[in-house]
A and B are shown apart, each in its own frame.
Chain A
Amino acid sequence: MSSDEYKSEDEVLGKAYDSKLMARLLSYIKPYKKYVIFAIFLNIIVAALGPVRPYLTMIAIDDYIANSDYNGLIYIGLALFASLLLQSVIQYFLTYYTQYLGQRTLYDLRTQIFNHTQKLALKFFDRTPIGRIVTRATNDVEALGELFSSGIVMVFSDIFIIIWILAFMFFMDFQLSLVTLSVLPVLIYGTFLFRRKVRDRYRDVRLHLARLNSYMQEHITGMSAVQIFHREKEGFKKFSGINDDYRVANIKSIFYYAIFFPSVELVSAVAIGLIIWYGGGEVVRGASTIGVLFAFIQFTEMFFRPIRDLSEKYNILQTAMASSERIFKLLDNETFVKNPESAVKLEKVNGQIDFKNVWFAYNKDDFVLKDISFSIKPGETVAIVGHTGAGKTSIINILTRFYDINKGKIYIDGIDIETVDKKELREHISIVLQDVFLFSGTIESNINLDEEKISREKVIEAAKIVGADEFIMALPNNYDQEVKERGATLSVGQKQLISFARALAFDPKILILDEATSSVDSEAEQLIQRAIEKLLVGRTAIVIAHRLSTIQNADKIIVLHKGEIRETGNHQELLAKHGIYYKLYELQYKDQEVKAS
C-alpha cells in the first residue's frame, strides 16, 4: 500500500450527503430498475414473516394450549415452521440477489473508469501519479460496494420490518402497544446518539491509525536514515507517542460500546417490565391475554436490529459520497487528443513523411521543437541524433499524435495527420521504446499483444527473424512462458529482442525506434544489431540512434540541438564538418568503433 492511501484515509469522512452525487450514483442502478423493484417487493414479504411468529404463538397459547387442543397446537407448530422456512429461503435469495445487483453495478462502474482512463491523452498520465489513478479504478469503487450491495435495498427491508412489527402490535393490543413503545424514543435517541459518538470516536481512531501507519510506512522506507544517524531510540520514543495516542483513542471508543450494549438491554428490560406491569394488569382485568404478553415480549427483542442498522447506513452513505466524488472527477476529465470529426481514410501507406515548420511545446510557449522541417522518402531510414534535451523523443510523440503540435504540419503520404483517425494512424506506425514494457502474460501475448490476427506461427516467425526464437525455446514453457514482474527474469537484451519481435509481428509501414542506451554484452549487442537491420528492411524508419552501426547504415542523419535541426547529411559528410555531430561522435560513438575493431 502506498503512503498516499494511508494519508487519504482521514480525508474519507468528508461530506455526508450530496443530492447531485447521489442522483448520479443512482443512475448506475437504472439499467436494473426492474430488478430493484422486485427486490423491494420481496423485502416487504419477508419482513412480515418474522413478526408473524409471535402472533402465531399468541394464538397457540390463548386458543389451543388454554383449551387443551393438541391438534391445533400441531397446526400452529407447522405454520410456525412454514413461516420460518419460507423466511430463511427468501432471505437467502434476497441477500444473494441484492448483492449480485450491487456487484453488477460495481462491475459497470469499474469498467467505465478503466475504459475512460485509458483513452485519456498522455498529457494526463504525465501529470497524474499512476498510483492515484489505480486507486480510483479499484479501491474507490470497492468503497461504493456497500452502498450498492446492501445499502439501498436494505434500507427498505429495515423500514418494512419496523412497519410490520408495529402493525402486528397495534392489531393485537393497542393500549399495550403504546405503553411498550413508550421506550422506543429512548431507544432511537440512544442509538443515534451512540452512533454519533462512536462515529466521532471512530474518526479519531482512524486518524490515529492513519498517523501510526504513515509513521511506520515512512520510517520503514527511510530506515537507513534512522540507522545512519543512530536515531533508533528517539524514533522509538516518537513511535510510542503515536502508538499511545492510538491506544487511548481505542480505549475511549470502548467506553461507548461498553455503555451502549448494556443500555440497550436495559431499555428492553424496561419494556418487558412495562409489559408485565401494564399488560399483566390488563390480563387480570380480562382486557388482554397471556398470549399477547408472550408475543409482546418477543417483539421487544425484534425491534432493536433494524433500528441499529438504519443508524449504520449513514456511515455507508458518507464513505460512498467521498469515493464517488473522486471517481466522478476522474470520469469528468476530458483530456483527450481530439479526433477529427470526419476523418480521412488512411488505408494503404507508402511511408512518405514530411515535417513542415513544426513547432511543439509540452508547456505553453516553452518550445522543445522549433521550426522543424524534413522529408523522408518511403523505405528510407533516418537517424536522429543529439545531446540530452535536444528534442528527439518529442518527434516520436508528435508523429503518433500522443501530443498535438502547436504550429506547422506533419504529413504522411501527403495527408495531414490531424485529419486522420488516431487509431488508424497508429496502426501504420510501430514504436519500439527504450524502456521495454512487458505485460504480465506469456511471451506470446507480449509479442502479439493479444491481437488475434497475429497467429502463433506469425509470432514465431517474427521471433525467428529478430533472433529471439533461440532463447525463447530455451525457456521451460517456450512461447507460453509466463512473464513475471514485468520481465524481471529476462535480461535487458532479451527484453529488447521481444519488443523487436512485437514491432515486426505488427508489420507496420513506418517504424520508430528509440534505441536503448543501456549496455549489453557483446554477444547480445551483435544479436540486437542484426535484428535492427532486419527490422528496418522495407520500411520507413525514424531511429533515435545510439548505435554507431545504425547511424552508419542510415540514409540520412538529422542532428538536433536544443530543439532545432542544426546539421543533416550522412556520417562521412557530417564528420567532415567538425560541428556538433563530430562532438557527439567523440562522446558517444567513437568507443563503439574502438570496441568493434
Chain B
Amino acid sequence: MIEFDHVTFQYEKALTPALTNIDLTIDKGEFVAIVGHNGSGKSTLAKHVNGLLLPTEGTVTVCGMQTSNEDDLLRIRQKVGMAFQNPDNQLVTTVVEEDVAFGPENLGIEPNEIRTRVDKALASVGMSDYATFAVHHLSGGQKQRIAIAGILALKPQILVLDEASAMLDPNGRAELLETVHKLHREGMTVLMVTQYMEETTGCDRIIVMNHGKIVLEGTPEEVFRHTDLLMESNLVPPETVSVRDALRSMGYALKDRSLTAEQLAEELCPLL
C-alpha cells in the first residue's frame, strides 16, 4: 500500500541528508509506529507519504501512484489523511460539524452526502454529542479527535499521525490512542509517529529511526527485546520493559510479551 524504495531526502541548505536510503513497505490494514529522538528523521519520513515532501533520490509509491508524479498528487492526498502536533493549527472554523464538513465541501460533494459523512466521522471518533459545540470549548484531546474526524470525512485509506499526541495531557493522549486503535480495527492503515514508547506496545510493527536511517524494526515484542539498541538511539524503553529486564536478570523467566503492567503481572505472579 505504501512503498519507500531507496529514499534519500536532504533539506535545502542542510549539510547531511535527513533520510538516507530508506526501504520500507507498509501493507494494507497495518498499524505501524515510527519512533526516534528529535531530529532522527521520523517526521520527515511521515511527510513523504502524502507528498508534502518529495524524495531527493528514490521513490515513494502510495496505492500504486508515485508521489513525484504531480498529476497523481491530489489523488494520493485523498487517500492519505494527515494529523499534526498542534490541534489549534488544524481547525479552521468555529463550530465542530462545520469544521468536519470543511474538507468534503471543498471537494464539491453534494450536501446530503456531506451530512452523512460528517455524522459518520463524528461517530467514529466518539464526538457525535459535540456536533454543534464551539471548537474553542473543547479540550486538546477532543480537538485532535475533531481534526481526525475532518480527515475521515474525506474517506482516506491511510491515516498518518505526526506526533499528534505530543501536546496533549495524559487523558487526551489516551483518548486519541483509543480512537486510532478503533479506526485501525475498522480497517484503516495507520502510520503513527510518536516520542512516547508506551504508546507503541499495541501496534503491529515498530520502526526505530536514528540519524535518518531505520536502525531497528519488528513487532513490539521483538523491538523491546533490544533495549540496548533503543538506548543507543537515545530512546528510553517503557518503565515496564526495564523492570521486566531487571527481573529477568534476577532469574525470573518472563516472556517477551510482558510489555504492559497487566501483562507483566500476569506473567510474574504465577512465578512467585
Q: Do A and B bind each other?
A: no
Residues on B facing A (Cβ under 8 Å): none
